[in-house]
Structure 1
Amino acid sequence: MSRLQDILAISKNAKAKLFKKGTILQKPGKLKPYAYFVSKGLLRSYIIDSKGKEHIYMFAPEEWIIGDLEAMEYNQPIELYIDCLEDTEVIIFDKDCFFEYQLSKEQIINNAQLLYRRIGRLQRRVLMLMGTPAIDRYKYFLKTYPELQNRVPQHMIASFLGIAPQTLSTLKGKIIRSKD
């Protein structure tokens, strides 16, 4: 059974849905946050600062879950935008889905492992943003998301890394020259 079928079988609140590229699934200020499991396609979450600049928090390719978890947990207004970078098939959850008790022991273990992997990657990213050179952050991005460099515009990768697009171009040049 696929993860999609597993999730849909477990929760009466989970719904599969297809969205077109460019669709905004979630905007700040709303009071009903959802989590999205990506079956096919690509999502991103981000904020827009007071100067109108986007800051990308996360990309979610296939088999990833994305959402404003703080808003879900603390019943607060949503802070993150979530949109589709490609035509995307998702499974949409609300908070209640996580408290349904029909999970098998194997499903609980698998979900816990997936959650710990995601938290570990986010922790690594935060630590790297606090004190790692941009070139190392870019190399880690390539290692973590090997398929995304050809699916995501360069300015979005730069935003995710916390650098200017010109800096990303310079880093890519350095990496190419170092391979010669």
Structure 2
Amino acid sequence: MIYNLILENITKHISLDQEEIHYFTSCLKQKKVSKKEFILKGEQTCKYINFVHSGILRAYYLDKEGKQSTIMFAVTDWWITDMFCFINDQPAMLTIEAVEESIIFQLSKDDLDSLYIKTPKFERFFRIIFQNAYIREQLRTIQNLSLTAEERYNSFINKYPQVVKQVTQKQIASYLGITPEFLSTIRSNKHKINVSFDKIS
């Protein structure tokens, strides 16, 4: 069943009966996106929160000089949107694109509001999702202030090993706030250390 994964995601936090499941799935818009296809572009109205059924998406901020700063990645079983703009019905500050061919489910702000009314327990579910996203970004901000680039890279690959396998070095560097060249140096040094340990073993 195409909805199995998203329903498993939902039922981690709330329980739904068959009528509630039917109403929830009727609100979803399934979309297949090609590699490098945009889900959302900066300045567009942010109409949807997206659940990744398969594939991987990337959200980034594009400055006036054309520099991309990756804000987050979303792999299978994750949610992603431009949160501020989605909640407040504002033009998007972020661009979201598919890193690889992906299948997503989209839930509009209007349908989300209807869910809250018809099935109030969804307020609990999305409160948990939104507060977890806030916690994740707070911890990331603290890491950016307190850890070296190498420590941030090690933390990233330990926390998100599935992401490392699916995105480019340039995209990881953009997420960490360093140049691809500097990331290459970090990875090279890490490889040398690992080789040295192997020789000792």
User: Is 1:10–1:102's contact at 8 Å kept on the other side of the alignment?
Assistant: no
Match of 1:159 in 2: 174
Relative to 1, partners in 2 of residues 1:73 and 1:111: Cα closer, same or farther, differing over 3 Å?
closer
Amino acid at match of 1:57: I
Query: Residue 161 of structure 2 aligns to a residue in which SS?
Result: coil
CA-CA distance at 1:102 after TM superposition: 4.3
Match of 2:43 in 1: 29
Amino acid at match of 1:163: I
For residues 111 and 75 of structure 1, the distance between their equivalents in structure 2, rounded to whole angstroms, comes to: 17
Q: Deviations over 1:101-142 (max 9, x none)?
A: 44475x665554444433322221122123321011101111
Match of 1:2 in 2: 4
User: Is 1:38–1:90's contact at 8 Å kept on the other side of the alignment?
Assistant: yes
Query: Residue 157 of structure 1 aligns to a residue in which SS?
Result: helix
Which deviates more, 52-61 or 29-38?
Answer: 29-38
For residues 125 and 191 of structure 2, the distance between their equivalents in structure 1, rounded to whole angstroms, comes to: 38
Which deviates more, 36-45 or 96-105?
Answer: 96-105
> Which of the numbers 127, 144, 153 marks the counterpart of 2:159?
144
RMSD: 2.2
Give the TM-score, by structure 1 length: 0.87
Match of 2:134 in 1: 119
Larger of the two Rg values belongs to structure? 2
For residues 148 and 30 of structure 2, the distance between their equivalents in structure 1, rounded to whole angstroms, comes to: 40
Amino acid at match of 1:2: N
Match of 2:57 in 1: 43
CA-CA distance at 1:50 after TM superposition: 1.4
Mind listing any 5+ residue stretches in structure 1 that lack a counterpart? none
Match of 2:77 in 1: 63
Within-5 A mapping of 1:33-112: 33-99=47-113, 100=115, 101-103=117-119, 105=121, 111-112=126-127
Relative to 1, partners in 2 of residues 1:9 and 1:142: Cα closer, same or farther, differing over 3 Å?
farther
For residues 62 and 82 of structure 1, the distance between their equivalents in structure 2, rounded to whole angstroms, comes to: 15
CA-CA distance at 1:163 after TM superposition: 0.3
Q: Deviations over 1:71-125 (max 9, x none)?
A: 11222111111000111010111112332144475x6655544444333222211
Relative to 1, partners in 2 of residues 1:63 and 1:47: Cα closer, same or farther, differing over 3 Å?
same
Amino acid at match of 1:44: R
User: Is 1:13–1:96's contact at 8 Å kept on the other side of the alignment?
Assistant: no
Relative to 1, partners in 2 of residues 1:102 and 1:177: Cα closer, same or farther, differing over 3 Å?
farther
How many residues align? The count is: 179
Percent of aligned pairs with the same amino acid? 28
Amino acid at match of 2:81: G
User: Is 1:27–1:80's contact at 8 Å kept on the other side of the alignment?
Assistant: yes
Query: Residue 53 of structure 2 aligns to a residue in which SS?
Result: strand
Mind listing any 5+ residue stretches in structure 2 that lack a counterpart? 11-20
For residues 122 and 41 of structure 1, the distance between their equivalents in structure 2, rounded to whole angstroms, comes to: 22
Which deviates more, 87-96 or 118-127?
Answer: 118-127
